[in-house]
Amino acid sequence: MLRQGSLKRHVGPRIAGVRLAATAAGIRYQGRDDLVLLELPSGAQTCAVLTTNAFCAAPVQLTRTHLRRGQPRYLLINAGNANAGTGARGLADAETCCKALASAADCAPEQVLPFSTGVIGEYLPVQRVAGALPRLLDELREDGWNAAARAIMTTDTRPKTAAVRCDLGGAEASVVGMAKGAGMIRPDMATMLAFVATDAAVRSVLLNELLRAAVADTFNAISVDGDTSTNDACVLCAAGTLPGGSVVTGSAAAAALAKAVHEVCERLATAIVRDGEGATKLVTIEVVEAGTAAEARAVADSIAHSPLVKTALFASDPNWGRILAAVGRAGVCALDIARVRIWLDDALIASGGCRDPGYTEAAGRAVMARDAFRIRVALGRGHAKARVITCDLSYDYVRINAEYRT
Amino acid sequence: MLRQGSLKRHVGPRIAGVRLAATAAGIRYQGRDDLVLLELPSGAQTCAVLTTNAFCAAPVQLTRTHLRRGQPRYLLINAGNANAGTGARGLADAETCCKALASAADCAPEQVLPFSTGVIGEYLPVQRVAGALPRLLDELREDGWNAAARAIMTTDTRPKTAAVRCDLGGAEASVVGMAKGAGMIRPDMATMLAFVATDAAVRSVLLNELLRAAVADTFNAISVDGDTSTNDACVLCAAGTLPGGSVVTGSAAAAALAKAVHEVCERLATAIVRDGEGATKLVTIEVVEAGTAAEARAVADSIAHSPLVKTALFASDPNWGRILAAVGRAGVCALDIARVRIWLDDALIASGGCRDPGYTEAAGRAVMARDAFRIRVALGRGHAKARVITCDLSYDYVRINAEYRT
């Protein structure tokens, strides 16, 4: 018993001063947690990257406003209902939840950031959310990350957490994150939520830089710039509970922390792709030798978003013609196809505008049979590059999304 | 027997002076025709809209060159092999076919336009093509359109032809067309070939105008500008066999002919969507009240290309939230979501940034149950509009494209 109790108290990662709780509020699902509260210590710094979708959800609008006004103390996150496409009433509903929590926890409503994910266009059951707040406040605990990660899932098949430690020169800092998201034919289609925290003390400007740098190369490398769902959000909190002063911009500690935040975001982003709806393969698209980064990204996106390429990936069919066609239609100005080379992992499949003379179908099939591999395209135009992580398109993608509301 | 013979001589549409033949050359398929020859009379005018894909196929490159040089007398079209991604040898192969036909038919090689559709990256079996040419030349007939339309199919489930007559003020002209294409999650992914001919006499400049105007609103309204496959082509031929002079730009006859060409292209484009791989529904996306035509088109494309919207269409699920999210991420600058309205046929589903008060799920389901309906979006910003025709995303789309080469 002692041992079991001991285990229970120390399950999963933790950030000193950051406490979480999850509960079943009955928002949409039966028999599972669907509401999460994350508490930050006084003095914590928080920043976020939020969706640019014009139809952004009520909680996103409110989070944007609250982030401008005050230092957040609570993140309130629900699954099952996106509170998007709900107009003025949706906004009022989100405000009501923030006020109810502020009242119960003795903080200002502006210190609560609301997040929602799930079905669009239905009103949030505010009473059920409010009714669950007292028990959430009672059950806050530092090792609540795993339970919280499970409670924010929608079509995800598994919870996603990541934890990394880093040496800030004297003190060892922790970075812990959780994420949900599994709509992966294009990641802009389904809500992606990610919450990352560190115990390091980081001022607002640097914290923003850390988050934006990490997101650009991780969560945004599984997405299209500006192409986001109504609810996408990625939040980074610095609890400031680690002994020692604030991490200073340009210092070795800042670099170490940046690396750790990047690593956590990378692991979570990869976990989202691996859990892609119906996905059976994790495919990294790398484009190199591009004239500009934008051109590299356009080619990577053209491949990553091609349903014909993605169904071929699902079939483990090294149909390189479809990759070639996707490169060709990416809109690269005056592309010299004779200079383009395409690899599946280390197998050179196309060069000189056609199948490489050394390529064999067997070599292509061997790579395609792997559950994770790389499509690499060299454009022969310059030194810019881009990377996008994607997955295949399977029957299950159609099933999951055809049956989502039924 | 007489009657049957008589029927056989008069099956399907025809254009005086335009003859076609189809045969089984064994290029890829067994037991079906896969090679078509279309002969134009001396003096016919021909123009084409060809793919802008950088990896454009060898036959497309050659057709572009030949169109610049001479008056085409023959179109040679094969299914089963795209002759794309085949480099210098692919180009030589296409040239060999043109030369073989020129020699057998006593014309210049530049008077032959080659077209191919099918698998990318395999070499064309030139000997089989060349070997079939004598019997194609022997079997040319004016009523060969239906057999030809069948022979150019790849994943199509049915042949596509259309015929319209129009009054040119004294003489009655005919416009006949055939098309193939069924890759319809995005039409840029699969080869679309269309061949349209009229017996009217039309000079080159006007003929180009007629074709480009018709394509913009039909074949390009099931596609994205510049987003084309390696082999896409649409050809318009004016045989000039109709008695009377040339149709003059700006005349009533030109307007009547433009309308007829448009009508044929519209019917063929719609037939391609209806035959979309795995498609169960024909959905027209109309965007109105946009600030610019480009912005209208961006919103229409965002909806038409959303796999989440398309799987909801397949499920007959009026999940208007997904439509709303697709509108929101189309990149329209400073979109006022309070002014946006969305209809399913005549049912207003969203207004004021949320579900319309008068909307019922039953009304949405009733529309979604139809096999053809319209999604209409009013942006409340101006008077520009756009229309895109699309279909749903089903299990069969995945099956067809996962199994295509196997």
**A319:B53 CB<8 A:** no
Q: How confident is the model at residue B318 (pLDDT cuts 50, 70, 90)?
A: confident
| Chain A residue nearest residue B306, CA to CA | A189
Packing angle, helices A252-274 and A204-217, rounded to 10 = 40
Residues 6-35 of B with CB under 8 A from A: none
Instruction: Give the integer Cα–Cα distance in Å for B103 and B9.
Output: 29
Instruction: Give the integer Cα–Cα distance in Å for A195 and A239.
Output: 13
A70-79, A288-297, B9-18, B154-163: the lowest-pLDDT one? B9-18
pLDDT > 70: what percent of chain A? 92
pLDDT of residue A112: 98
Residues 212-231 of B with CB under 8 A from A: 226-230
Is residue B311 among the annotated active site residues? Answer: no
B22-44 mean pLDDT: 95
B85-112 mean pLDDT: 96
How far is CA B128 from its chain centroid? 27
pLDDT of residue A319: 79
**Cβ atoms within 10 Å of A161's Cβ, excluding its own:** 20
Q: How confident is the model at residue B7 (pLDDT cuts 50, 70, 90)?
A: very low
DSSP string, A106-121: TS-GGGEEEEEEEESS
pLDDT of residue A231: 83
Instruction: Give the integer Cα–Cα distance in Å for A129 and A75.
Output: 13
Q: How confident is the model at residue B70 (pLDDT cuts 50, 70, 90)?
A: confident
B191 touches chain A (CB under 8 A): no
| Annotated catalytic residue within B46, B63, B154, B191 | B191
pLDDT above 50 for A181? yes
Looking at beta carbons, which residues of chain A come within 8 Å of B120? 319, 321-322, 324-325
pLDDT of residue B279: 76
Looking at beta carbons, which residues of chain A come within 8 Å of B395? 395, 398-399
A333 touches chain B (CB under 8 A): no
B115 touches chain A (CB under 8 A): no
Q: Which residues pair with B372 in a beta bridge?
A: B282
B86, B229, B325 ranked by CB distance to A229: nearest:
B325
Residues 255-284 of B with CB under 8 A from A: none
A114 vs A55, which has greater pLDDT? A114
Which phi and psi angles does A137 have, rounded to 5°?
-60, -35
| Chain segment A298-341, per-residue pLDDT in tens | 999 889 888 778 778 887 888 788 888 889 888 898 899 889 99
Joined tokens for residue B121? 């990256």
For residues B39 and B145, is the Cβ–Cβ distance under 8 A?
A: no
pLDDT above 50 for A273? yes
pLDDT of residue A308: 77
Residues 339-358 of A with CB under 8 A from B: 350, 352-355
Q: Who's near B101: CB < 8 A, 6+ residues apart?
A: B37, B74, B76, B109, B112, B133
For residues A376 and A320, is the Cβ–Cβ distance under 8 A?
A: no
Catalytic residues of A: 191
- A345 three-class SS: coil
A307, A319, A352 ranked by CB distance to B186: nearest:
A307
pLDDT of residue B190: 56
Q: A interface mutation test: which of B354, B355, B395, B399 has the most A CBs within 10 A?
A: B354
Provide the 8-state DSSP code for B291: S
**A394:B393 CB<8 A:** no
Residues 122-181 of B with CB under 8 A from A: none
Q: Who's near B105: CB < 8 A, 6+ residues apart?
A: B39, B73, B74, B137
The runs of H, that is alpha helices, within A123-194 are 126-138, 145-151
User: Could you tell me whether strands A193-198 and A233-238 are parallel, antiparallel, or unpaired per DSSP bridges?
Assistant: parallel
A66 touches chain B (CB under 8 A): no
For residues A300 and A309, is the Cβ–Cβ distance under 8 A?
A: no
**A325:B354 CB<8 A:** no
| Chain segment B160-188, per-residue pLDDT in tens | 999 999 999 989 999 999 999 876 444 44
For residues A366 and A394, is the Cβ–Cβ distance under 8 A?
A: no
Looking at beta carbons, which residues of chain B come within 8 Å of A312? 401-402, 404
Chain A with chain B: Cβ pairs closer than 8 A: 203
A119 touches chain B (CB under 8 A): yes
Q: A interface mutation test: which of B329, B337, B339 has the most A CBs within 10 A?
A: B329
For residues A179 and A265, is the Cβ–Cβ distance under 8 A?
A: no
For residues A83 and A230, is the Cβ–Cβ distance under 8 A?
A: no
**B393:A395 CB<8 A:** no
Looking at beta carbons, which residues of chain B come within 8 Å of A321? 82, 84-85, 119-121, 230
Joined tokens for residue B323? 């439509």
Looking at beta carbons, which residues of chain A come within 8 Å of B86? 354-355
| Chain segment B225-273, per-residue pLDDT in tens | 334 577 889 999 999 999 989 999 999 999 999 999 999 999 998 888 8
For residues A303 and A323, is the Cβ–Cβ distance under 8 A?
A: yes
B229, B306, B398 ranked by CB distance to A398: nearest:
B398
Instruction: Give the integer Cα–Cα distance in Å for B341 and B6.
Output: 56
- B344 three-class SS: strand
Looking at beta carbons, which residues of chain B come within 8 Å of A53? 325, 328-329
Residues 68-97 of B with CB under 8 A from A: 82, 84-90
| Chain segment A47-61, per-residue pLDDT in tens | 999 988 888 899 999
Instruction: Give the integer Cα–Cα distance in Å for A195 and B360.
Output: 36
Instruction: Give the integer Cα–Cα distance in Å for B80 and B70.
Output: 28
pLDDT > 70: what percent of chain B? 92
pLDDT above 90 for A188? no
A53 touches chain B (CB under 8 A): yes
A364 touches chain B (CB under 8 A): no
pTM confidence score? 0.79
**B331:A226 CB<8 A:** yes
B23 vs B87, which has greater pLDDT? B23
Query: What average pLDDT does the structure give for chain B?
Result: 88
pLDDT of residue B309: 83
Looking at beta carbons, which residues of chain A come within 8 Å of B308? 183, 185, 189-190, 401
